[in-house]
Amino acid sequence: MTTADRSPGRHPGVGRVRPGSGPPARLFNSAVASYAVVTAWEVGLLDEMRASGRLDIPRFAREHDLHEPSVRAVLQALEWAEVVRVTDDADEAKPGDAFAEVYATKGFFGWLLGGCGELLRTGGTVARGGSQGRARIRRDAGRIGTGTADFGRQFIDPVLHRMLEEIDYTCVVDLGCGNGDRLVSAVLARPGSRGVGVDIAPDAIEAARRRVAEAGLLDRVALVEADARRLEPRPEFADVDLATCFLMGHDFWPREDCVAVLAGLRTVFPRLRDVALGDTYRSGEAPGPELPILTLGFEYVHALMGRYVPSLDEWRDVFPDSGWRCHAEHDVTLPPNTKIFHLVPAC
């Protein structure tokens, strides 16, 4: 072996590289910047900058009781990603070229890094531990709900609202209701209607209860802590004629379980006539520079959890066997590879 072969930065089959630069540096720095997006959102920095068009750094830290060096570190990471620009005097920050797009998609960052951060951190343990490893999976349901509510409000709800204008309903149930935003909107959109929210997470039910109270709908909306995959008839469900379910339909799979869950809806909700089922399906796209936001993270996280993500064709194929007919499909721009299926009874 020659001296050149033993030199730093040399590896068989790789060629000369400068350690710590190029793709590794971009990958590393983008991870830091992505976490900075979540932190900036959680402490109100992104909302303040969007509302004011600027950020007085010392004042913002003081008024929000934040550690100023930490705020500056967050801004430095965001500046690397062109989300913000820090002025020459270092006391003010303004939106950068990427600010608008990052602000609009912040919910995806919150879902992945806030809600699934513990899972990502322990991926080695989960993958190595098989079924026992997956039993130790921890996710933050509150942050997942906050993230999905943010991008759902912007990209999913407008499509749903146009769809609901064509459906005659008097009582709507939202399966996996999260913080209750979607359920409240559906009830308010139809005078005299009532609603039921179902969620497995106690924190989500509590958040939904606050949202329902704020909207003045405590007399029209009931909340039930339960697993949407294992529902049984109860008085609150007797008059439901519309069911909505968003971004959790893949949790019904594998196929035989999904058939049972969808078929069981007509027993649990005896007056059910319409279902709005919105979900992200498996893309089938190869990883590459054009892969859109969420796709890689969505499929990666669910693979770690051992959860099957069906393809679009698999979704279309499962409806007839579960007693439903797909009346219409509505495309959603974001999340990518997402549709809202309007289901009606097959007979």
| CATH number of the domain bearing residue 173 | 3.40.50.150
First to last CA, the chain: 77
Q: Answer whether residue 91 is part of any domain.
A: yes
- Tell me, what amino acid is at 328? A
For residue 25, the domain's CATH number is 1.10.10.10
Per-residue exposure over 215-231, b if at least 16 CB sit within 10 Å of its own CB, e if not: bebeebbbbbeeebeeb
Tokens of 59: 């004042």
Instruction: Identify the band that residue 339 occupies on the pLDDT scale cut at 50, 70 and 90.
Output: very high
pLDDT for the residue numbered 25: 95
**Contacts by 183-192, CB closer than 8 A, 24 or more apart:** 183/208, 183/212, 183/221, 183/244, 184/211, 184/212, 184/215, 184/217, 184/221, 185/157, 185/161, 186/160, 186/242, 186/244, 187/215, 187/217, 187/220, 187/221, 188/215, 188/217, 189/161, 189/164, 190/164
In a domain, 136, yes or no: no
pLDDT at 181: 92
Q: Are residues 171 and 229 in the same domain?
A: yes
Pairing of strands 171-175, 242-246: parallel
Same domain, residue pair 98 and 159: no
**Nearest residue to 107 (alpha-carbon basis) of 148, 161, 66:** 148
**What local confidence, expressed as pLDDT, does residue 245 receive?**
97
Q: Round to whole Å and give the CA distance between 219 and 213.
A: 9
104, 131, 166: which is the final residue of a domain?
104
| pLDDT > 50? residue 7 | no
Domain count, the chain: 2
Question: Would you call 342 helix, strand, or coil by DSSP?
Answer: strand
What pLDDT is stored for residue 140 in this prediction?
Answer: 87
Q: Would 113 be classed as within a structural domain?
A: no
| 216 domain residue, yes or no | yes
227 pLDDT tier (thresholds 50, 70, 90): very high
Assess if residue 255 is contained within a domain: yes
264 and 329 share a domain?
Answer: yes
Say which range, 38-47, 62-71, 135-144, 180-189, has the weakest mean pLDDT: 135-144
- Looking at residue 127, its pLDDT comes to 86
Position 3 scores a pLDDT of: 46
- Between CA 197 and CA 189 the distance in angstroms is 16
pLDDT tens by residue, 20-65: 889 999 999 999 999 999 999 999 999 999 999 999 999 999 999 9
Do 159 and 93 share a domain, yes or no? no
Q: Are 166 and 256 in the same domain?
A: yes
| Tokens (6 digits) for 278 | 């919105």
Q: Are residues 97 and 172 in the same domain?
A: no
Residue 189 CB partners (closer than 8 Å, separation 6+): 161, 164
Percentage of the chain lying above the pLDDT 90 cut: 81
Q: Which of 44, 73, 104 is the last residue of a domain?
A: 104
pLDDT above 70 as % of the chain: 93
Residue 288 forms part of a structural domain: no
**Number of residues written out for the chain:** 347
| Average pLDDT for 299-307 | 92
Task: Report the C-alpha gap between 266 and 272 in whole angstroms.
Answer: 6
d(CA 218, CA 187): 11
In this prediction, residue 15 carries a pLDDT of 53
Q: Give dist(CA 154, CA 37) in Å, integer.
A: 18
274 vs 204 pLDDT, higher one: 274
Domain membership flag for residue 140: no
pLDDT at 138: 85
pLDDT exceeds cutoff 80 at 131: no
- Which is more confident, 305 or 4? 305
Identify the bridge partners of residue 274 per DSSP, sorted by sequence position: 242
Cα separation, 157 vs 166, in Å, equals 15
The pTM of the full predicted model, rounded to 2 decimals, is 0.88
Helices (H), the chain: 23-42, 45-52, 57-63, 68-80, 99-104, 106-109, 117-121, 123-128, 130-135, 141-151, 157-164, 181-188, 202-214, 255-268, 295-305, 312-321
Q: Mean pLDDT over residues 211-232, rounded?
A: 97
- Structural domain that includes position 277: 153-282+307-345
Check whether residue 6 and residue 74 sit in a common domain.
Answer: yes
- Say whether both 169 and 91 belong to one domain: no
Measuring CA to CA, how many Å separate 201 from each of 139, 140, 205, 228? Answer: 11, 10, 6, 11
Going by the DSSP 8-state scheme, the letter that residue 229 receives in this structure is G
88: in domain = yes
Residue scoring higher pLDDT (45 or 142): 45
Residue at which a domain ends, from 104, 124, 139: 104
Query: Which residue from 164, 334, 160, 175 is spatially nearest to 261, judged by alpha carbons?
Result: 175
**Residues 89 and 8 reside in one and the same domain:** yes
In this structure, are 157 and 100 located in the same domain? no
Mean pLDDT of 163-186: 95
161 and 82 in one domain?
A: no
Residues 3 and 83 reside in one and the same domain: yes
Residue 194 CA to residue 217 CA, distance in Å, equals 9
DSSP characters over 246-258: ES-GGGG-SHHHH
Question: What 3-state class would DSSP assign to 284?
Answer: coil
